[in-house]
């Protein structure tokens, strides 16, 4: 059983977008996946309620937010994806780090998000010293033509933060979420740039 946890102490950075689409990727790959939502707002869980029954199955983890952090998945489960709240700390953070095989940290290219996230990334890496590949940072809502993207790249290089890939700033993900679907439920020929950006992340998830 593989556990993927999406976390960042900053709110509004794209955790639910990543969580739902990662679950969609696993489901498309015919894995038995559960999407857990450790956020009391339950955004991912609400999204799952809108998912059409004709699409590859993503199972819901019907537990209160705190219970998702520690609960055992059904034996048939092959993959767990856990969406987390902002400002997660204490025993909740420690338990999630402990149970995660892979940790995805979304980061938006603006000054406040970069600095709010930096210490968190270093903390995660200090906890995963035996497996530095356990933690990967994904730049979210990126427009490569903007100054903020250049600043993020410069900052990442200076601080030795490796960005696995970036997800471009597009309304596609908002449209997908409104329909209860993911990029991986859509026709690849209609969204070639988006599929390409997900390539490094999917490869790492499968490794």
CATH number reported for the structural domain that contains residue 110 in this entry: 3.40.50.300
How many folded domains does the chain comprise?
Answer: 1
Strand-pairing partners, residue 79, are 2, 33
Angle of CA points 195, 199, 205, to nearest 5°: 125
pLDDT of residue 110: 78
Residue 206: inside a domain:
no
Return the residue matching tokens 């439920």: 185
Confidence band for 48, pLDDT divided at 50, 70 and 90: very high
Confidence band for 134, pLDDT divided at 50, 70 and 90: very high
Arithmetic mean of pLDDT, 47-53: 94
Residue 67: inside a domain:
yes
Residue 141 domain boundaries: 2-200
Three-class SS state of 139: strand
Task: Say how many CA atoms lie within 13 Å of 148 toward its Cβ.
Answer: 14
Q: Is the pLDDT of residue 89 over 80?
A: yes
Confidence band for 54, pLDDT divided at 50, 70 and 90: very high
Confidence band for 21, pLDDT divided at 50, 70 and 90: very high
Confidence band for 153, pLDDT divided at 50, 70 and 90: confident
Residue 54: inside a domain:
yes
Three-class SS state of 83: strand
Chain-centre distance of CA 173, in angstroms?
13
Chain-centre distance of CA 61, in angstroms?
17
Query: In whole numbers, what is the pLDDT of the chain averaged over residues?
Result: 91
Burial class (CB in 10 A: 0-12, 13-18, 19+), 101: middle
Confidence band for 165, pLDDT divided at 50, 70 and 90: very high
Task: Say how many CA atoms lie within 13 Å of 186 toward its Cβ.
Answer: 19
| Range with the poorest average pLDDT among 23-27, 68-72, 163-167 | 68-72
| Range with the poorest average pLDDT among 46-50, 148-152, 175-179 | 148-152
Q: Is the pLDDT of residue 3 over 80?
A: yes
Whole-angstrom distance, CA of residue 29 vs CA of residue 23: 10
Q: Is the pLDDT of residue 172 over 80?
A: yes
Residue 7: inside a domain:
yes
Supply 35's token pair: 């999407």
Q: Is the pLDDT of residue 129 over 80?
A: no
Residue 177: inside a domain:
yes
- What beta strand segments (E) does the chain contain? 2-6, 33-37, 58-60, 79-83, 102-107, 135-142, 163-168
Arithmetic mean of pLDDT, 158-162: 81
Arithmetic mean of pLDDT, 167-182: 95
């Amino acid at each position: 059983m593989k556990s993927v946890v999406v976390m960042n102490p900053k709110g509004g950075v794209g955790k639910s977008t990543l969580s739902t689409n990662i679950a969609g990727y696993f489901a498309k790959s015919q894995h038995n996946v559960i999407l857990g939502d450790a956020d009391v707002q339950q955004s991912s869980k609400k999204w799952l309620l809108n998912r059409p029954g004709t699409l590859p199955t993503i199972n819901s983890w019907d537990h209160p937010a705190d219970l998702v952090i520690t609960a055992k998945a059904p034996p048939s489960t092959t993959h767990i994806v856990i969406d987390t709240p902002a400002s997660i700390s204490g025993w909740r953070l420690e338990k999630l780090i402990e149970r995660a095989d892979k940790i995805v940290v979304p980061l938006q290219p603006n000054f406040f998000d970069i600095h709010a996230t930096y210490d968190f990334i270093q903390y995660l890496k200090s906890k995963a010293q035996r497996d530095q590949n356990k933690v990967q940072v994904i730049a979210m809502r990126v427009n490569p033509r903007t100054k903020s993207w250049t600043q993020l790249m410069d900052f990442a290089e200076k601080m030795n933060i490796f960005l696995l890939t970036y997800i471009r700033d597009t309304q596609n993900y908002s449209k997908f979420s409104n329909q209860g679907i993911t990029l991986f439920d859509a026709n690849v020929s209609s969204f070639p740039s988006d599929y390409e950006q997900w390539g490094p992340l999917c490869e790492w998830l499968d490794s």
